Amino acid sequence: MVKLVNFKWQQLILSLSCLLLIIACQSLYPATNPDAKPLKVATDPTFVPFEFQTADGKLKGFDIDLMNALASPAASIAKVAGFAVQFESLPFDGMISTLQAKRVDAAISGITITAERLKTIAFSRPYFKAGLAIAVREDNQNIKDFNSLKGKKIAVQIGSTGADFAKTIPNAKISTFNSGPEFFQDLLNGNVDAVISDAFATLYAIKNGKFKGIRVVADLLTEEYYGIATPKDSPHLDAINKGIAALLSNGTYKQIYQKWFDAEPPQLPDS
């Protein structure tokens, strides 16, 4: 009888310890919870250095690092965000409608937060300070600012803020392209006079020697902020925002920024 009681106590303690261990593991690594569905995140990997593919097909870039950090238990964000990320490559032009149709949970692709886009989708808090720049051939001295773009041949990416901006230039002849590398080639070939696109991506492409012969006009045309986009009323937006706040305050954001841009990150607004 006594033996039996002892045995039950041992069993109870053992079961309780197991239970505690399981709870502890799950709160540390909720992403490994088999019930937690991975977050489907769209990206267009043609936007160096934010998202691009290496020769062996691996996704890399500032946005990819940021998204992975949001989901990483090592950054202790998982407790807040608690999701595993599954990237899906999509053309930039179709991203907003894909989010609207809720075919993905989120998108990270250097997407500028605009009033127009906010009518149909939602955005996280800003995670990157950006802006549009004019790129010209090195020998071009006449294009210096907005006014000198009037009546010129201009290349832009379909569906981008650069394309929207180009529409405001009087008498400009606009050609549209699916992705960045194509329009820079067109500029080099002399088919267009200027490209209007995101300054950081343009400067990075030039600095890394891929587009020798192109320079960026000094003054930026706009100030923009990138956000992680989600469908409206997304159940994940709050966790994403908390995750970004945590990465900003624990130094991870700064580390990722320095890795890709070799500079101190600027101050970001909360919303």
Residues that bind ligand GLN (CB under 6 A): 44, 47, 92, 109-112, 157, 160-161, 198
Closest CA to 184 of 133, 231, 149: 133
Q: In what order do the strands lie in the sheet with 173-177?
A: 173-177, 153-157, 194-198, 132-137, 214-216
Least Å distance between CB 92 and ligand GLN? 5
Task: Sort strands 153-157 and 194-198 into parallel, antiparallel or unpaired.
Answer: parallel
Is 47 or 78 the residue whose CB approaches ligand GLN more closely?
Answer: 47
Least Å distance between CB 130 and ligand GLN? 6
Is 47 or 87 the residue whose CB approaches ligand GLN more closely?
Answer: 47
Backbone angles phi and psi of 77, in degrees to 5: -95, -20
Cβ burial of 219 (10 Å; 0-12, 13-18, 19+) is exposed
Is 92 or 253 the residue whose CB approaches ligand GLN more closely?
Answer: 92
Least Å distance between CB 73 and ligand GLN? 29
Is 46 or 72 the residue whose CB approaches ligand GLN more closely?
Answer: 46
As separate numbers, helices (DSSP H) first and strands (DSSP E) second, the chain gives: 9, 15
Least Å distance between CB 154 and ligand GLN? 15
